[in-house]
Amino acid sequence: MGNDRKQSITAWLCLLPAIIFLGVFLVYPMIDVLIYSFEEGYNFASRSFLGIGSYNYSYVLHDPYFIKALKNTFIIVIITVPMSTGIALIISIALSHITRLKELFQTIYFLPYVTNTLAVGLVFMILFRKTAYTDGMVNILINAFGARSIDFIEGPYWAKMFVMCFYTIWVVLPFKILILTSSIASVDPIYYRAAKVDGTSKLRMFYKITLPMISPMIFYLIITGFIGAFKAYSDEVALFGTDLNAAGMNTIVGYIYDMLYGNSGGYPSYASAAAIILFSIVFTITVINLIVSKKTVYYS
Amino acid sequence: MKIVLDHITKKFPNINKKEKSEVTAVDDFSYEIPDGKLVALLGPSGCGKSTILNLISGLEKPTQGKVFFGDDDVTGLPAENRGVGLVFQNYALYPHLTVRENIRFPLENLKGDKKLSKEEMEEKVQRVAKLVQIEALLDRRPSEMSGGQQQRVAIARALVKKPKVLLLDEPLSNLDARLRLQTREELRRIQLETGITTIFVTHDQEEAMSISDYIVVMKEGRLMQKGVPQKVYDSPDNLFVAKFLGTPQINVFSGEIKDNALFIGKDKIRDGINSIDKKVYVGVRPEGFEPSKDGVLRCEFQKLEVMGRDASILSHNDNFDGTVIRSIIPSDTEVKTTGGEIVFNLKPWKTFVFDSVSEERILID
């Protein structure tokens, strides 16, 4: 028993730095945010408030900028999470089937992961932006097919959203490809041999063997993908600059940032309320994901 | 259905070296597996026995030679069209599927006019589950079963589509000793009940000897000897086969044939041998020794181990090709030693002579 006690003390001591750090910089602020979100009429200068209630939530939920940000975020989530996971899956399967130049392609697909977001944003601007001198590479392509130029960065909403989703998918792909190629490679080839002897078609092997076996990883990517996409902000700044409200491309995290530090900033209560709303959304979606996964994901 | 392997050679590219070189896994191997028999491919690991299995299943293509199922040349036919059932060493059951789904898997692959209805599939699954006695486990996952039960599921999955031939790769090596004995009897029963031509690979000679109709002993990709197990044991063609079959191992001495007599050291073992003078190996099965004061082979007595029915005499001889000569005698035999020396008579039908260079058997009678 004495030994057990000694061991658990050692374990706690090892965990202590992390617990202190997380407590000070994560748990305490989280509780603080929750408190802030219910303090009405908080004054930043005097650090005082008028009362406790749900006004902050009501304000945020009626703020057209928040509604717009909410809508943008949902569109990005719904489009980019399934598409990036699907595309990553297709590329990973293709990668696992080639033998020549496999490493080269794997490196190429992984490059965006180690590239700075803002640098990628700059490249996308050059590709998509319409300036006085040029319509941009993409528009030159569009013109070649006989269509009219579109301003992707300052033009219509759907064009901006298209660039936004395209960009997001492109940025998250490498990590997903990395995870999926390694999990496809980890499926024991004996299963494919067994299936082959039993006359299984390639397609059926994929649906009946590969997919179930890598389902925990796909599920992991979907969950982290949802969470990541709900927290989208820096990608938007990289493409459309800091004034996202003017561009009509703000996201929830962008809204929270604006409420704290932006031109219209200085409202920690509103920012906190928006943060709590975001948290509830992400929490709900994750719980739904977990419930669905119980039926579809196979864990060994 | 009989299976014919006609001068099969299989070479694999050597993956360890940069330069182009090849490893020959199977070297000019010919054998005909008779219809409805249980045949064991026996040999040490790396002897090419699993490659033979893969060549029959179609998972590998021979570099040279042909494979026939009955009279049909199936050399170019891919595995999925050969209609073989294959049981892997680690069973390769799909872990995410239940036993029922695992067994049904091959049936669901059937297309065209072979396509089965749900009821037909269920009926076939039930029938084969009954054959291997796992009816009660159909809704379990492989991880919820013992090794022996998984083995039965794997056999059921291989049998459900009524294959022309059943191939088993080291079917018993993942089981514990007691289960192994039980399962090999079970394998034999299933094979006899279905009458399916069955080939199984093993490195365990006892396993091969106990249940198969024929054994094929392999070494370095070549066929060393084939035949009825007891016959191969009683009459090995070469030193390798003599050493590989039998536990404890055969005792091998360095000897020579001189003036038509066989010698081990100074001891004359046998007269009237019709052969030119040469160096030889003399192999004596442990049960081939008889302690006798007017025997022919003198050895240095070390120890007597009595174990119930049998006793082992451990002894030494300078011409012995190892450390301890182990001879097995009935435990009621009187063992007499004089001055630390024990003298044996050697039973002629348990004593084999091999050429010291080619290691081929020299028939001395």
State the angle between helix axes of A28-38 and A268-296 in degrees (0 to 180), rounded to the nearest 10: 120
Alpha-carbon gap: A194 to the closest alpha carbon of chain B (Å): 7
Cis peptide before B248 (omega within 30 of 0): yes
Residue with tokens 């898997």: B105
**What six digits make up the tokens of B148?**
């022996």
Residue length of chain A: 300
Taking Cα atoms as reference points, which of B320, B358, B365 lies closest to residue B239?
B358
Rounded alpha-carbon distances, angstroms, from residue B25 to A273, B11, B13, B45, B275: 70, 6, 10, 11, 36
Residue to test with chain B: of A99, A187, A197, A215, most B Cβ within 10 A: A197
Q: Please report which residue ranges of chain A form alpha helices under DSSP H.
A: 2-22, 28-38, 55-62, 64-97, 102-114, 117-128, 137-144, 157-185, 189-197, 202-205, 211-230, 234-240, 244-247, 252-261, 268-296
**Contact predicate B196/B156, CB 8 Å:** no
What is the distance between the alpha carbons of residues B273 and B261, in angstroms, rounded to a whole number?
5
Residue B106 has its nearest CB partner, among A191, A193, A198, at A198
What is the tens place of the pLDDT at every residue in B288-321? Answer: 999 988 889 999 999 899 888 899 999 999 899 8
Residue B109 has its nearest CB partner, among A191, A198, A298, at A198
**CB-based burial, B4-31: b 16+ in 10 Å, e otherwise:** bbbebebbeeeeeeeeeeeebbbbebeb
Instruction: Say if B143 is an interface residue toward chain A (CB within 8 Å).
Output: yes
Alpha-carbon gap: B87 to the closest alpha carbon of chain A (Å): 8
Largest interatomic CA distance in chain A: 81
Tell if the CB–CB gap between A199 and B90 is shorter than 8 Å.
no
Residue B79 has its nearest CB partner, among A188, A191, A197, at A197
For residue B115, count other CB atoms closer than 10 A to its CB.
12
Helix (H) or strand (E) holding A39: strand A39-40
What is the distance between the alpha carbons of residues B195 and B173, in angstroms, rounded to a whole number?
24
What is the tens place of the pLDDT at every residue in B14-45? Answer: 766 666 678 889 999 999 999 999 999 999 98
What is the distance between the alpha carbons of residues A248 and A240, in angstroms, rounded to a whole number?
9
**CB-based burial, A110-136: b 16+ in 10 Å, e otherwise:** eebeeeeeeebbeebbebbbbeeeebb
Q: 3-state SS of chain B?
A: CCEEEEEEEEEEECCCCCCCCEEEEEEEEEEEECCCCEEEEECCCCCCHHHHHHHHHCCCCCCEEEEEECCEECCCCCHHHCCEEEECCCCCCCCCCCHHHHHHHHHHCCCHHHCCCHHHHHHHHHHHHHHCCCHHHCCCCHHHCCHHHHHHHHHHHHHCCCCCEEEEECCCCCCCHHHHHHHHHHHHHHHHHHCCEEEEEECCHHHHHHHCCEEEEEECCEEEEEECHHHHHHCCCEHHHHHHCCCCCCEEEEEEEECCEEEECCEEEECCCCCCCEEEEEEECHHHEEECCCCCEEEEEEEEEEECCEEEEEEECCCECCCCEEEEEECCCCCCCECCEEEEEECHHHEEEEECCCCEEECCC
pLDDT for B62:
93
- The chain B residue lying nearest A188, using CA atoms, is B92
What is the distance between the alpha carbons of residues A89 and A95, in angstroms, rounded to a whole number?
10
Predicted ipTM of the assembly: 0.81
Radius of gyration, alpha carbons of chain A: 24
What is the distance between the alpha carbons of residues B171 and B36, in angstroms, rounded to a whole number?
19
**What six digits make up the tokens of A82?**
């399934």
Domain boundaries, chain A: 63-296
Name residues of chain B where pLDDT drops below 70: 15-20, 365
Residue to test with chain A: of B105, B111, B161, B169, most A Cβ within 10 A: B105
Helix (H) or strand (E) holding A51: strand A51-52
Chain A residues with CB-CB distance to B92 below 8 A: 188, 190-191, 193-194
Helix (H) or strand (E) holding A40: strand A39-40
Residue with tokens 């896994």: B25
- Fold of the CATH domain A63-296: MetI-like fold (1.10.3720)
**Contact predicate B313/B289, CB 8 Å:** yes
pLDDT for B114:
84
**Contact predicate A210/A184, CB 8 Å:** yes
Which phi and psi angles does B218 have, rounded to 5°? Answer: -120, 150
**CB-based burial, B272-303: b 16+ in 10 Å, e otherwise:** ebeeeeeebbbbbbbebbebeeebbbbbbbee
Tell if the CB–CB gap between B109 and A209 is shorter than 8 Å.
no
For residue A33, count other CB atoms closer than 10 A to its CB.
18
Instruction: Say if A211 is an interface residue toward chain B (CB within 8 Å).
Output: no
What predicted TM-score, i.e. pTM, was given to this entire model?
Answer: 0.80
Chunked mean pLDDT (size 10), chain A, 300 residues: 79 93 94 91 78 90 94 95 95 89 85 83 83 81 83 86 92 92 92 91 92 92 93 87 85 92 80 94 92 81
